[in-house]
Chains A and B, each alone.
Chain A
Amino acid sequence: MTAVHLGMPKAQRPTLPTAPAGVGNLRGDRPFPAAARDALRDGQLRANLGAATTTIRGKRAGVVAEVPDWAQLREAGRAIKAATMARLDEHLEELERQVTARGGTVHWARDATEANAIVTALVRATGADEVVKVKSMATQEIGLNEALEAAGITALETDLAELIVQLGEDRPSHILVPAIHRNRAEIREIFARTIPGVDPGLTDDPRRLAMAARTHLRERFLRARVAVSGANFAVAETGTLAVVESEGNGRMCLTLPQTLITVMGIEKLVPTWRDLEVFLQLLPRSSTGERMNPYTSLWAGVTPGDGPQEFHLVLLDNGRTAVLADEVGREALHCIRCSACLNVCPVYERAGGHAYGSVYPGPIGAVLSPQLTGMSGDENDPNASLPYASTLCGACYDVCPVAIDIPSMLVHLRGEHVEAQQRTTPEAAAFRALARVMSHPRLWRLAQRAAGLGRFLARGRPTLPAALPPPASAWTRARDLPTPPRETFTQAWAREHGA
């Protein structure tokens, strides 16, 4: 059992393992500003994202507004998560007991490498060389498909959007709608190019596209012997796993094959069956903007003669215990992966999901990914750039169904990053000097006078020249800067009032 450290002062806190580098998909290869720059130039991507996020935002707002006790539900969700995290070790052991008692097998995976090895061995033991997959963030996080492929096992995504991403040899860019960056014309092109025997007259009509995918998938569902899924929730007291979905592909995978392997982050559990009531109301309205999701599949262990006869649950840490040890950052583990924060985020809307490098994009990704992997003191660590990829506008906090204060956490992680830096960066030197100046009024007045001298650069014009040296150029490339005034307000006031 992994130890859980709650609220311990940092100095006494042991260094807990984070997600291993080089395995899975939690870290990109470039810092956010550079990755975003490319996305911003892609007009089609901007149009696709703008249209999709605007639509889903509107749907969510509509169905949330009609729930009279949304604020109380949200508070209940937050409180259940906080209470669960405080006794996560006990709940996990209870879950293991209950799953085992119902004929399932529980495996504990410290990280992505262990989880991939466990699943690969389990699939191999069945003799199958193909698995069907239910859409799952945990398996994306650990790079399970890549690990299976290396072992000669084909993993087939059955969620429509995941299928589009997989066939297009692309990467998911959204937690709920992984192909949100694609429009239907692009999807038609991918299907026409990659699905064997597809109707050559395929149009971009959504129904026709869905039918083409359905035909392609149906055959695979029927022949599959092993399915791999994630889980939205696990109920500790009954050992029940839950998957919510819209397309029915999940139900097929969870019921038809002989063997079911579920990979679940350790933070996904709720203590009691009754707790599900809260989350099954919060989740669909926040994610797809529906009152109820079309399919909710619940299972506990195995049932003779009905559904998979072999069930394995892989409980994944992969840095989560390290996140739990941070008393501010741990709230990120409350996330139920609804994506409401992505859909309202003005940064995500422009830069898209790929810019975040991790399978967890958007505001929640910006607080979760760097904590799961840890941020190295190196200022070029791509994940160390994520906490800065936000204007702190607060839209994410407002829509979060479990009230995760993402803006405060972003600020906290910026502080953690700065304090972890080994050497004094030019920025740190500047901020330290400025702090000294701003805490001494006399020095501050002098600095303001010095800033006022910048007016001479303007040569009498109302704005400063656009061609200023860095870092000012980062502002003036796109925005004018007004010419500093001759006198500050406080100086003028002091002069007038004889201070």
Chain B
Amino acid sequence: MRVALFATCLVDTLVPQVARATATLLQRLGHDVVVPAGQSCCGQMHVNTGYRREAVPIVANHVRAFAGADVVVAPSGSCVASIRHQQAAVARRAGEHGLAEEAQALAARTYELSQFLVDVLGVTDVGASYPHRVTYHPTCHSLRLLRVGDRPLQLLRAVRGLELVELPRAESCCGFGGTFAVKNADTSTAMLTDKMADVLATRAEVCTAGDASCLLHIGGGLSRLRSGTRTVHLAEILASTDAPPGQFRASAPGRSAELHGGGAR
């Protein structure tokens, strides 16, 4: 299958290894990956901060960038939720009915990574190997807007060497919330502290999730505490194999991401 990868603005700019991992994984499963060059952002940050009018040209750009795609995959529950639940509504509100229809049609072809793997491709064992103790945090938008359910857990359980430990109070929000993390920094930090306490209680080496944004927040807190536990995106774990260098290896605990053979450095 020819799959268009939407890296998302945050992943592309700050944690490119997550998009690389998504591409590597999809290629390993035998699919053609294309990365439309015109892509930038889904517009969610604007919409959720009150700038819904300003989000319209961003939505238009997104629709333009992915116009030719049969199927779009993004390593983010939150961005896909915005594409599915907000883009068309924002365009419609601005009177851009043509754009709204195009956005709606594109949304129907857009998938969050774990949904794409399990529902569209029908795979749970993606041939990954990741010999670490891992706990999984279900991000709010993947949980409550996309209803991904236990799909990420099904994928993680099939990873060789991975020891999956249950996160207490897993469904509690980590406190990121986009601009909430800055506008209500104190409350956000209080929520983060409780989430970190739960993560650390699992004695996991790695906390994973399907959203790089929430992981940036949780990982930023864990790093500040010098906790030794780090955050790794689900795509990185699923892309990881025990094949020799030349293949993708995800960020292992205590190391920064390594992009072997990808030519990123």
Residues of A within 8 A of B (CB): 32-33, 36-37, 40, 46, 346-347, 350-351, 388-395, 397-398, 411, 414-419, 427-428, 431-432, 434-441, 444, 448, 451-452, 462-463, 466, 471, 474-475, 477-482, 484-490, 492-497, 499
Contacts and interface: CB of A to CB of B under 8 A. Distances in A.
Q: Which of A434, A436, A440, A462 has the most CB of B within 10 A?
A: A434
A391 B191 contact: yes
Contacts of A478: 185, 188-189, 192, 220-221, 224
A480 B144 CA distance: 28
Nearest to B217: A479
Contacts of B37: 441, 490, 494, 499
B16 A485 contact: yes
B61 A492 contact: no
Given A350-B187, A418-B51, A444-B40, A438 B9 contact: yes
Given A33-B187, A36-B187, A414-B48, A391 B9 contact: no
Contact of B173 (A32, A391, A497): A391
Contacts of A350: 187, 190-191, 194
Given A440-B61, A490-B7, A490-B12, A393 B140 contact: yes
A463 B265 CA distance: 18
B57 interface: yes
19 contacts: A40-B190, A346-B191, A394-B145, A398-B144, A418-B50, A418-B51, A436-B57, A441-B38, A441-B39, A441-B61, A441-B65, A474-B183, A477-B185, A479-B220, A485-B15, A486-B265, A490-B35, A493-B23, A493-B35
Contacts of B172: 346
Interface stretch (B112-120, B124-132, B174-182, B201-209): B174-182
Interface of B: 7, 9, 11-16, 19-20, 23, 35, 37-41, 43, 46-55, 57-58, 60-61, 65, 86, 140-141, 143-145, 171-173, 175-192, 194, 216-217, 219-221, 223-224, 256, 262-265
Nearest to A414: B50
B55 A388 contact: no
A40 B13 contact: no
Nearest to A355: B187
| Main secondary structure on B side of the interface with A | helix
A290 to B, nearest CB: 24
Nearest to A434: B46
A332 B7 CA distance: 36
A435 B58 contact: yes
Contact of B223 (A390, A431, A463): A463
Contacts of A36: 184, 186-187
A435 B186 contact: no
Contacts of A440: 61
A439 B140 CA distance: 27
Given A395-B173, A489-B19, A415 B50 contact: yes
B173 A489 contact: no
A397 B223 CA distance: 33
B257 to A, nearest CB: 9
B187 A431 contact: no
B5 to A, nearest CB: 8
Given A480-B220, A481-B220, A40 B186 contact: yes
A490 B220 CA distance: 24
Contacts of A452: 13
Q: A-B pairs with the 8 shortest C-beta distances?
A: A391-B177, A479-B220, A418-B50, A414-B50, A489-B16, A439-B57, A394-B144, A393-B173
